[in-house]
Structure 1
Amino acid sequence: MENNRRKFLRRLGMAGAASALAPAAFARQEAREFESMRRENPMPADRELKIALIGAGIMGTQDMNTALEHDNVQITAVCDLYDGRLESAKEKWGNHLFLTKDHKEILKRADIDAVLIGTPDHWHKQISVDALNAGKHVYCEKPMVHDVSEGKEVIDAWRKSGKVFVVGSQGISSLGNEKAKELLAAGVIGDINYAEGFWARHSPEGAWQYLVPDDASEKTVDWKRYISNTTSRDFDPLRFFRWRNYLDYGTGMSGDLFVHLFTSLHFITNSLGPDKISAMGGLRYWKDGREVPDVLLGMFQYPDSEQHPGFNLSLRCNFVDGTSGSTYLKIVGSKGSMDVKWDEVVVKTNQQTASDDPFMEAQARMRGAAADRKRILPPNEMVYKVEPGYKGAHYDHFGNFFRAIREGGQVTEDPVFAFRAAAPALLCNDSYFQDKFIQWDPVNMKLV
C-alpha cells in the first residue's frame, strides 16, 4: 500500500508547478476571492436522435424536458403504468406519441434510438437489460440497480451491446465537480484524509409525500405489471405513487440521495469505493407507514489505493430539517478543504505566509527585496462560481450522453462507474436493517 501511496504522490508531483503553485495560482489572480467557471459551447448536433421515455413520473418528466432542450432530439414514445401520465405526456409533447404500458412494445420500435428510464428502482435492472439487448442506448435514473446482486447483469449486457449507457446522477457533469477534480489533482488541498456530505429536506414532496391522484385505482394503474417482479400484494395507491417509502420498489434515502454524493466523490477522487460500510438512523417524523428511515447516517472507510490515500467518509440525510437544510460535499485534505456544489466550489486553506508561496518568494528574490519587507499574501479562501447563463449539470449530462451516441464515444458514468457509486449506497441500507458492518470489495465489485 505504501508503494501505491507513493504512486499517488508522484502522480500529483508530475504536474510540477500545478501541485507546488496552488497558493501561487491564487497570488497571480491578485488575491481575488472569486473566479468564474465556464462551459464551452458544444459542437452542433449533426443528426436527429429519437428517444422514448419509460416511466413518466416526476423525474422521468424532468429528464425528458431537459433532453428536449438539446438540438435535434425528438420524443417518439412514452411508457407508463398510470393512464393519467400517458394522457399528460400527450398534452406536453404531442399527439404523435406512441403510448403504452408495456416497455417491451417501446423496444420493438425501429424509430427509437435511445430510452430514458425513470421508473421506480425495482424496474431499473430489467428494463435496462431489455433495452440493451434490443439495441437501444440507455439513460437510466440512479441508482442503476435495486440490489447489488443485479449489477453484474447490467454491466454484462452493456459490454455485449456496444451501446452508450449513462446513469442519471447529473452532478458528475457539473462545472463544480469538474473544478473540484482539477483542484484536488493539482494538490491545492493536499492529500485527502476525510470527506463528508449532507442532504436535507423537509417539505412533504421532498420527503416523498407525492400527490396521489383521485382516480387512482386498478382501472387506471397496471398494478399487476408493477408488482410482477416483486412481492404480490393487493392494490395500494401509496405503494405505487409514493414508492420510495417502500423497500420492494425504492432504495431509501441512501439510494435516492447518498448515491449522488458517492458519484461526485468518486469522480473527483478517481476512487473505486469504500471497503467497509456502516449506518444508523431512524424514523423520527414521517410515521406514515413507510418502511425506511427519515434520518440516516452512513460511515464509510476508503482504503489506500493507487488512486488516493486512505480516507473516511461521513454522509448524512435528514427529511425532518426545519431549516430546509443544505446540500454539499466537503473534501478535506492535509492543506485545506473544498466545499463542492454543482455550480460552486469553495476552497479553504490554512492562513498562508509569504514563505509558503514559492512563486512569491521567487519574485522577491528577483527584485532583491529586503528580507523584512511586507508582502501580499494569497487568500485563504477562494470561491469558484459558474458564469451567468450556465444551463446546469442536468443539461450537460444529457449533452454528454447525446454526444457519445453521435460520435461513438464514452461517458464517465457508465454502468461500471455507476455500480461502484450505487453499491455503497445500497449496502448502507443493508447495514442499517441488519445492524452490522458490511465488507465490500470495491475493485472486484462484490461482497466480502
Structure 2
Amino acid sequence: MKNNRRSFLKKLGLTAGTAAIAPAVFANDQPDIQFLNRNTTWDAAQPIRLGLIGAGIMGTEDMNTALRHANVQMTAVCDLYDGRLESAKQKWGSNIFTTKDHKELLKRSDVDAVIIATPDHWHKQISIDAMNAGKHVYCEKPMVHSVAQGMDVINAWKKSGKVMVVGSQGLSSLGNEKAKELLAAGVIGDIVYAEGFWARMSPEGAWQYNVPADGSPKTVDWKRYISNTSDREWDPLRFFRWRNYLDYGTGMSGDLFVHLFSSLHFITNSKGPSKVSSMGGLRYWKDGREVPDVLLGSFDYPETPEHPGFNLSLRCNFVDGTSGTTYLRIVGTKGSMDVKWEEVVVKLNQNAESDDPFMKEQAKLRAASGQEERAKILPPRETSYTAERSWKGAHYDHFGNWFNAIRTGGTVVEDPVFGFRAAAPALLCNDSYFQDKFIKWDPVNMKLV
C-alpha cells in the first residue's frame, strides 16, 4: 500500500509546478461527472462580463482583484443596502446596472459570470439560480450554509455545464503548490499529523464590522434578506455583522477553518476526515453573538490510497495577543512543513538522512567492502521556499484559474465537489460544538454516517 501511495503522490508532485500555466491539472478526478453545454469556443477577444452579488468587504475585494485581469469587465451589481449600490457606482462607474434582486441581475444578457459574496445563508440558492440562468459562478467560501445543502449545488453544477469555483483563494497559492510537490516527493516522509491556527486581533477582525448610520428598513431590503430563514424584526447587527449569527453565518469554522481544510486537502489530495469534534467558548466578545470566539477542532483522517491515516488539530482565536498569527503545519515521519500562501519552511528531524543517491551508493560500497563507516554530509535541517516578489498573489491567480476555465471549457482547482469536501468538516465543527458530540462523516460519498 505504502509503495503504491508514494508512486501515486510522486506523479502528482511532478504536475504541481505546472499550475500557473495549466491550472486544470489540480481539478478533482470525478469520472461520473458529465458536463453539459460546456462553452469551448470563447473568443479570446471577447471580454468576460461580470456581475457582483453582494458588494460588501469581500465582494469589493473580489471584484477589484478580478478587474486586474485583462479583458474582464463589470456590468452589474446586486446588494440589499442602498449605500453599497451607491458606492459601487462611485467605484466602478455610474453606467453599471444596480438592483436589490439577484434574479434581475441574472436575467441580463450582458452578464456572463457572477461573483457571489453574500452572507453564507444565500450561497446555495444564488449559486443554483445563477447556473440555471446560464452564468458561470465564483462563490465565496464556505460553498453552503449547511451540510444538507451541498449535493444540491453539486447536482446543479453538473447539470449546468458552467464553470463554478469556490473562493478559498489559498488553493491557487505558490506555497500550497510547493508544499504539495514536496510532500509527494517524500521530503518529510509520510504524513502523521497536521495542525493549523488562525487568529484575529482587531475588532473588525472579530466581525465588529461598521454599522452605517443610515442603515434602516428604508435603505435595506430586510424582508428579502431573511426570506429564507427565521422571520425577525429589523436588527442592524444581524444585517451588518451577520457572521455573529447562525441564521446567516457559519462561525469561525465556516469563515476560517475552511481555508485550512482547503489547503490541507489540496496538498495531501485528501477527500476529508471521517470523524469531527470541536469545543470552545465565548470568552471575550460578549456582544450578543451566537458563536464562540475561541474554537478548537480535532479530526481523524483515515488511511486512503492517497495518504496514510493522520490526525488534524485546528485552532481559532478572536481573543488574540499574537498579532494575527496564521499557519498550517504538516508533520511527517522525517520532518515537517510550515505552509503559508507565499512561503514553505521545511524542517527535518535530526535523524533524517540525505536522499542524495551518490552518498547512498558510496555507503553501500563501503559496507560491502567492510570499510569503516565514514562521516556523512547531512541535508540542511531547515529550508525555506519563498515566492518571487513579482508574484501577483493567490487571490489574483484564483480568478485567473476561473477565467481560463471559462475561456477554454476547462476545469478549476476548487470545483463544487472539492469546495463541499472542504466546507463539510468546517460546518460539522459547529454541529459538534452545539450538539456536544462527535460527528461521523463519509468524505468519499459526502454524507453523514
Q: Using structure 1 for the length normalisation, give the TM-score.
A: 0.90
- Corresponding residue for residue 73 of structure 1: 72
> Structure 1's 356 and 61: CA in aligned 2 closer, same or farther, altered over 3 A?
closer
CA apart distance, 1:117? 0.1
- Report matched runs for 1:217-256 at 5 Å: 217-256=216-255
SS of alignment partner, residue 211 of structure 1: coil
Q: What code does the residue aligned with 2:77 have? A: V
Q: Using structure 2 for the length normalisation, give the TM-score.
A: 0.90
> Structure 1's 94 and 355: CA in aligned 2 closer, same or farther, altered over 3 A?
closer
Work out the CA distance in 2 between the residues paired with 1:354 and 1:322. Answer: 38
Q: What code does the residue aligned with 2:173 have? A: S
Q: Does 1:290 align with 2:289?
A: yes
Is the 1:352–1:380 contact (alpha carbons within 8 Å) kept by the matching residues of 2?
no
CA apart distance, 1:318? 0.1
CA apart distance, 1:358? 3.2
> Structure 1's 384 and 228: CA in aligned 2 closer, same or farther, altered over 3 A?
same
Is the 1:54–1:119 contact (alpha carbons within 8 Å) kept by the matching residues of 2?
yes
- Corresponding residue for residue 7 of structure 1: 4
Is the 1:354–1:360 contact (alpha carbons within 8 Å) kept by the matching residues of 2?
no
- Corresponding residue for residue 397 of structure 1: 398
- Report matched runs for 1:35-434 at 5 Å: 46-351=45-350, 357-362=356-361, 374=375, 376-434=377-435
* 1:374-406 deviation line (CA, Å, top 9, x unaligned): 554320111000011111000000000000000
RMSD of aligned residue pairs (Cα, Å): 2.4
State the percentage of identical aligned residues.
Answer: 75
Work out the CA distance in 1 between the residues paired with 2:445 and 2:352. Answer: 45
* 1:29-67 deviation line (CA, Å, top 9, x unaligned): xxxxxxxx9986799964311000000000000000000
Work out the CA distance in 1 between the residues paired with 2:113 and 2:12. Answer: 40
Work out the CA distance in 2 between the residues paired with 1:73 and 1:408. Answer: 17
Work out the CA distance in 2 between the residues paired with 1:372 and 1:190. Answer: 25
Is the 2:9–2:306 contact (alpha carbons within 8 Å) kept by the matching residues of 1?
no
SS of alignment partner, residue 410 of structure 1: coil
> Structure 1's 354 and 307: CA in aligned 2 closer, same or farther, altered over 3 A?
closer
Q: What code does the residue aligned with 2:204 have? A: E
* 1:95-132 deviation line (CA, Å, top 9, x unaligned): 11000000000100111110000000000000000000
Number of aligned residue pairs: give it. Answer: 425
- Corresponding residue for residue 436 of structure 2: 435
Farther-moved stretch of structure 1 (343-352 vs 144-153): 343-352
Q: Which runs of 5+ in 1 are unaligned?
A: 19-36
Work out the CA distance in 1 between the residues paired with 2:77 and 2:11. Answer: 50
Work out the CA distance in 2 between the residues paired with 1:89 and 1:180. Answer: 38
Is the 2:354–2:377 contact (alpha carbons within 8 Å) kept by the matching residues of 1?
no
Is the 2:191–2:307 contact (alpha carbons within 8 Å) kept by the matching residues of 1?
yes
Work out the CA distance in 2 between the residues paired with 1:312 and 1:79. Answer: 42
- Corresponding residue for residue 22 of structure 1: none
Q: What code does the residue aligned with 2:110 have? A: D
Is the 2:12–2:181 contact (alpha carbons within 8 Å) kept by the matching residues of 1?
no
* 1:164-218 deviation line (CA, Å, top 9, x unaligned): 0000000000000000000011011111110000000120000000000000100
Q: Which runs of 5+ in 2 are unaligned?
A: 24-42
